[in-house]
Amino acid sequence: MSKSNISRPIVQELSESLHAGIDLGLEDNVVVVMDGNGKHVDRFHFSQDRGGYDFFLKRMAGLRQKHAGADLAVAMEPTNYFWKLLARELEAQGISYHLVNAYTVKKHREGDQLEISKDDRRDARQIAELSRTGHYTQTRLQRGAYEELRQYGTVYDQLQKSIRRERHVLWGLAGQVFPEVFQVFARLEGEACQALLRQRAVAAQIRQVSAEALVSEVRGAFRGQRLMVKKLHRAHQVAQNSIGVVEGCAAIQLAIRLHLDSLQALEAQLARVKQAMTSCVATLPEAPYLQSFLGGLSTALLLAEVGDPQRYQAASQWVKLAGIQPTPNTSGQKQRSRTPMSHHGRARLRTLLYFTCLRRIQYDAHFAKLYAHLQHRKHNPLTKMQAVGVLMNKQLHILWALMHNHSFYDPSFSVSA
């Protein structure tokens, strides 16, 4: 893997090499094979099962024999999980494979044909052409605990999105029947607020009982340690003049209870995933050094995106993987920013670095000092977001150094510098 670029194009110089471009599908895969000069060699289909894979391997072996043992490279888009199935088979057979970006395939196809016509054969041919000209990434399957973390990271992200969606739905439902509840409770995540919504979310129903009766009902559904009685009295007070709707309240109350049940189930599932992730990352040799800087869960999320650190040769590859390297974006006299991020890397890794950076600025004296210096230096002072981008980059270099030096992070190492 290149030190400067994890997706460096590799120029193919051997005209006798074969490039098989595959357009993957749920049931059927289309293959177009061309040689190193771009000449069409073969085209066929194979099914997405054991028999289809055996047919594909036999057909490719025949082509190699026909072309005097030519080098073979298989290229495909990272389509759903299909590419993993084929990549695992190719690795077992010792066959080289490449992944090409779906967006690159689309734009190259449109540029070559000057139209938007699309079918599986065209895509397979374009994939083979991109492989021949070296426009592919060097992505490989993860193994062992790194693949486990990758899968855990996906589940973690899906649960987080589901939780945010449930909270948003609850916010809309509660706002219909008791919009003033947000004057009392800033967020709906609290146990007291959820207990109130579960028992009496409708302001019109709250007005039917006394404040003491309301507190008693909510206490029965409360699962926390200390009930916020004063806030419940405040909720009872503002409900007296609420503008919440009074029609369809029974259905909305039921919907709120159902979504609260879903929210609690999702939060319990998320807790299980977090526990599994921290247990899995603890088995990796680099974990203690990374955790001294990030903590257990953040280290697991980092390695879920980065994978096996031994695949990389420099911290700059992590920076590009995250998509936080400065990338020029100018045209004529127009310039978006002096140092814009590329944003072409992994969004989840970039998000993780952003929030850990904000915490570092708040609690780490060295990062806070550097953050202020970047904004107020005499030459080329940065904006707040530009300074955060620099520190996101710095975090990856620190993590790289900790891992390779087998050392633990000392937050006071340069405070006095």
DSSP string over 112-150: HHSS----HHHHHHHHHHHHHTT--B------HHHHHHH
Q: Is residue 309 part of a domain?
A: yes
Beta-bridged to residue 331, according to DSSP, are 334
Among candidate residues 305, 400, 320, 411, the one with its CA nearest the CA of residue 366: 411
Contact residues for 129 (Cβ-Cβ < 8 A; gap 6+): 19, 21, 34, 38, 108
Question: In the listed set 83, 111, 141, which residue is the last one of a domain according to the structure?
Answer: 141
pLDDT, one tens digit per residue, over 141-157 is 888 999 999 999 999 99
Residue 204 has pLDDT above 50, yes or no: yes
Q: Is residue 236 part of a domain?
A: yes
Taking all residues of the chain, what is their mean pLDDT, rounded to a whole number?
A: 88
Distance CA(46)–CA(189), nearest Å, equals: 51
Q: Is residue 256 part of a domain?
A: yes
The answer to whether 153 touches 146, Cβ cutoff 8 Å, is no
pLDDT, one tens digit per residue, over 68-112 is 878 899 999 998 899 999 999 999 999 999 999 888 888 887 777
Residue 13 has pLDDT above 60, yes or no: no
Contact residues for 313 (Cβ-Cβ < 8 A; gap 6+): 1, 2, 3
User: For residue 377, what are the domain limits?
Assistant: 287-405
Q: Is residue 78 part of a domain?
A: yes
The answer to whether 72 touches 64, Cβ cutoff 8 Å, is yes
Burial of 169 (0-12, 13-18, 19+ CB in 10 A): middle
Question: In the listed set 88, 109, 141, which residue is the last one of a domain according to the structure?
Answer: 141
pLDDT, one tens digit per residue, over 385-412 is 989 999 999 999 999 999 999 999 987 7
Residue 23 phi/psi, 5-degree rounding, is: -95, 105
Residues 129 and 157 occupy one common structural domain: no
Residues 229 and 267 occupy one common structural domain: yes
Count CB neighbours of 291 within 10 A.
Answer: 20
β-bridge pairing 72-76 and 40-47: unpaired
Can you give the pTM of this predicted structure? Answer: 0.84
Among candidate residues 258, 239, 282, 84, the one with its CA nearest the CA of residue 169: 258
Beta-bridged to residue 330, according to DSSP, are 335
Q: Is residue 385 part of a domain?
A: yes
Residues 399 and 291 occupy one common structural domain: yes
Residues 337 and 391 occupy one common structural domain: yes
Residues 152 and 135 occupy one common structural domain: no
Mean pLDDT over residues 220-245, rounded? 92
Residues 321 and 246 occupy one common structural domain: no
Residues 299 and 349 occupy one common structural domain: yes
Residues 93 and 195 occupy one common structural domain: no
Among candidate residues 362, 356, 369, the one with its CA nearest the CA of residue 295: 356
Residue 221 has pLDDT above 70, yes or no: yes
Residue 211 has pLDDT above 60, yes or no: yes
Count CB neighbours of 325 within 10 A.
Answer: 17
Residue 114 has pLDDT above 70, yes or no: no
pLDDT, one tens digit per residue, over 172-186 is 999 999 999 999 998
Question: In the listed set 248, 276, 304, which residue is the last one of a domain according to the structure?
Answer: 276
Residues 268 and 350 occupy one common structural domain: no
C-beta pairs of 76-80 under 8 Å, 24+ apart in sequence: 76/21, 76/22, 76/23, 76/24, 76/100, 76/127, 77/23, 77/24, 77/101, 77/102, 77/105, 77/123, 77/127, 78/102, 78/139, 79/24, 79/25, 80/24
CATH number at residue 177: 1.10.287.4070
| Two structure tokens written together for 301 | 């999320």
Residues 111 and 206 occupy one common structural domain: no
Among candidate residues 121, 140, 156, 138, the one with its CA nearest the CA of residue 25: 121
Residue 387 phi/psi, 5-degree rounding, is: -65, -40
Q: Is residue 412 part of a domain?
A: no
Strands (E), 109-267: none
Residues 343 and 384 occupy one common structural domain: yes
Q: Is residue 1 part of a domain?
A: no
CATH number at residue 33: 3.30.420.140
Number of domains making up the chain: 3
The answer to whether 343 touches 350, Cβ cutoff 8 Å, is yes
Q: Is residue 216 part of a domain?
A: yes
Model pLDDT, residue 117: 64
CA angle 191, 194, 195 (to 5 degrees): 85
Residues 271 and 203 occupy one common structural domain: yes
Residue 337 has pLDDT above 70, yes or no: no
